Structure 1
Amino acid sequence: MCCKVSIILPTYNRGFIIGDCLKSVITQTYDNWELIIADDGSNDNTEDIIKGLSKNNQKIIYYKNSQNLGLPGNRNKAIKEASGHVVFFIEDDMVLRADCLENLVKTYELLSKQGEKIGAICPSLITQISYNTSQRGVLNHVRDSRNDDLEKSPCIIDKKTGLIYRNFSPKFNGIIIVEDCHSCSLYPKEIFEKIQYPENIYTGNYIGEESEMNIRLRKMGYNLYFQPKAVMNHFVQENGGCRLPLYKWSYYFIRNHSLFLARNYSYKFVYMESFFLFYILRTVVSFSFLSLNKQPKK
C-alpha cells in the first residue's frame, strides 16, 4: 500500500486528553501518513503537550489559529495543508486501534480497484462516556427507541424528521454502503476541490455540517461506505472541544437541524420541520415521564 494519508486533528482546549490520541496515531501499523494538528486557539496546555510528543517527528505538523474559526472553518483550513491522497478526520478525544488506518486504506484501495466512486469511508466508533448529564440521558433515550432498527443497519435517516441515527459498531460484517458517515471518516483528497464543509452556517455544536457534505456527495454520485474492521474508541469528555451546557446544546440542536432540513430537503422542509418539532415535544415529555418514574420513592 502506497497511499499517503493526511490525518487531520482539529483541537481546542483538550490538553488533558489529546496525548492519548496522538500516541494512537504514532503507533499505527500503517505508517505512510502525516498528522496535521489544527489548534483552534487553545488557552490551556494543549500546545505544550503536542510539542512534547511530536518532538523530532517530521510527520506531525502543528499550527495554532490566532482566532477561533469554529470546527468547520478549522477543518477547511487544515485540508489546504494536506498533501496526502486521502484525508482522514479524527478528534482529540478518540483513540485509534493499531490497525485502524491500515484497514481503512485497504478498503479504499480495494474499492478504487473495483472502480467504485468513493465519497467517504467511515470506521467503527465505540463510544465510552464517563459522566452523566441530562443531555446524555436524552440522547441515550432517543437512541434506545431505534435500537431494533440499528441492529440491522449502522445508519438510519428518518424520512419524516430527517434525523440521523447511527450505530457504527464493529459487530457488523463486511463493507456496507450507508446513507451517512460520522465526522471521523476518510475522504479522497480530490473531492475537496469540488466541495467543502459548510462554514458559518451550523454553529454551537455544529450538528449537521458533516451530514450536509455527505448528502451533497451522494447527490453528486459518490457512495459512502462503512468498514467495521477499522475501529476507533471515542472517550466522550465533559469539557473542551464543542461541549455545551444542556440548554445551549438543545437550542443549537433545534436551530441546526432546522437549517439542515431547509438547506437539503427543498419543499419537503415544510412537513419535515413539523414532524421534527413534534418529535422534540414528544421526546421531552417521554424523557421527563421516565425520569420521574425512576426517582426513588420517599
Structure 2
Amino acid sequence: MKALVSIITPLYNSEAFIGETIKSILNQTYTNWELLLIDDFSTDNTISIVNDFIFKNENIKLITNETNQGAAISRNKGIMAAKGDYIAFLDADDLWKPEKLDKQIAFMQNQDCDVCFCSYEQIDEFGKPLNKLVKALPILSYKKYLKSNYIGNLTGIYNAKKLGKITSPNLRKRQDWLLWLNAIKASGKPAKSVQESLAFYRVHKNAMSSNKIALLKHNYWVYKKGLGFSTLKAIYSMLIFLWEHFFVKKKQTITLRKK
C-alpha cells in the first residue's frame, strides 16, 4: 500500500477559493492522502463549503479554532493531528496539478530524499495565468536556504516518518521559511526538487510581498527571533538576504510565452 500523505491547509475567510483548492486535491492521481483543514475562526461561508466536501469524502477532516490564532498555530494543529508518513502543505487559495503528489512522492522514494519541493506557476486572483514560472533549484542546502526562501510552501513535502513532525515557529509571517529550514537541518542533507511545475500560486494585488518595508521587517524577524541571531548577525544576514533576493533569486522566475 502507498504511504499516507497528510495535507495541511489553514483557512480564514476562504470562501472565494477553498472549493477550487479542495477539488485540486480530490483530482490527485495519488489517492492515499488525508486533508486536514484548520479553520481560524472564519466569519464567512468557509465552514459551510468545507462541510459539503466532508460529507462526501471521509479523508477530509476539519479542525476549528475557537478564536483567531494565526496561520502558524493553525498549521501546527494540523501537523500534530496528521497521521501521514509524509506531510505536505497547500494554502486555501492555491492549487495543485493532478500529478503533484504522485511525482513528488515517487521522487522522494527513489532519491532517498527527506525534503522535496518543485517548480510552480503564478496565477492571478481569478485563476488567470500570469505567465510566470518560479523554477525550483535542483538541490537546496541549509546554507543556501538561509540566504532566502527558495521553497514555495505549496510545493513542499517532508518525510515525517523519518524526521518527526516539524512545526512552524509562531511568527506572524515567514513561518514556512523557518519550518523548511528546520526540516532541512533535521534531515542532515540538502532538499531536492522535481524540476517540473506541479502547482499554481495565486498572487493577490495587495500581497504583502509587494510591500518592501514589510518584506524587510518580517525577514529580519526570521533571523532575530526565529533563529535567535544577535542583532548584529541578524542585520548582516539581512544584507545577504537582500542581495540574494533581488539579484540572485530573481533569476529563478521565468517569463513564459503566452499560450
The TM tier, using the shorter chain, reads: 0.7 to 0.9
Q: Which residue of 2 aligns with 1:45?
A: 45
Q: Secondary structure at the match of 1:31?
A: coil
Q: How does 1:203-214 map to 2 (within 5 A)?
A: 203=172, 206-207=173-174, 209-214=175-180
Q: Secondary structure at the match of 1:124?
A: strand
Q: Which residue of 1 aligns with 2:129?
A: none
Q: Which residue of 2 aligns with 1:178?
A: none
Q: Is the alpha carbon distance of 1:164 and 1:80 closer, same or farther for their aligned partners in structure 2, counting shifts above 3 Å?
A: same
Q: How does 1:9-28 map to 2 (within 5 A)?
A: 9-28=9-28
Distance 2:149 2:138 in 1: 8
Unpaired runs of at least 5, structure 1: 132-142, 167-180, 284-298
Distance 2:237 2:55 in 1: 51
Distance 2:24 2:3 in 1: 19
Q: Is the alpha carbon distance of 1:47 and 1:130 closer, same or farther for their aligned partners in structure 2, counting shifts above 3 Å?
A: closer
Distance 2:118 2:189 in 1: 18
Q: Is the alpha carbon distance of 1:25 and 1:275 closer, same or farther for their aligned partners in structure 2, counting shifts above 3 Å?
A: closer
**4+ residue runs over 6 A deviation:** 154-157, 275-280
Shift of 1:58: 0.6
Q: Secondary structure at the match of 1:232?
A: strand
Unpaired runs of at least 5, structure 2: 127-131, 248-259
Contact 1:155 1:164 in 2 (8 A): no
Q: How does 1:218-233 map to 2 (within 5 A)?
A: 218-220=184-186, 221-229=188-196, 231-233=198-200
Contact 1:198 1:213 in 2 (8 A): yes
Distance 1:152 1:7 in 2: 21
Distance 1:110 1:3 in 2: 14
Q: How does 1:184-195 map to 2 (within 5 A)?
A: 184=154, 185-190=156-161, 193=164, 195=166
Q: Is the alpha carbon distance of 1:277 and 1:124 closer, same or farther for their aligned partners in structure 2, counting shifts above 3 Å?
A: closer
Superposed CA RMSD: 3.5
Q: Which residue of 1 aligns with 2:71?
A: 71
Q: Which residue of 2 aligns with 1:170?
A: none
- Which segment drifts farther, 260-269 or 99-108? 260-269
Shift of 1:100: 0.9
Counting aligned pairs with the same residue, the percent is 24
Alignment of 1:85 onto 2:52: no
1:46-73 Cα shifts (integer Å, max 9, x gaps): 1111112332311110122111221111
Q: Which residue of 2 aligns with 1:140?
A: none
Q: Is the alpha carbon distance of 1:237 and 1:155 closer, same or farther for their aligned partners in structure 2, counting shifts above 3 Å?
A: farther
Contact 2:117 2:136 in 1 (8 A): no
Q: Is the alpha carbon distance of 1:275 and 1:229 closer, same or farther for their aligned partners in structure 2, counting shifts above 3 Å?
A: closer
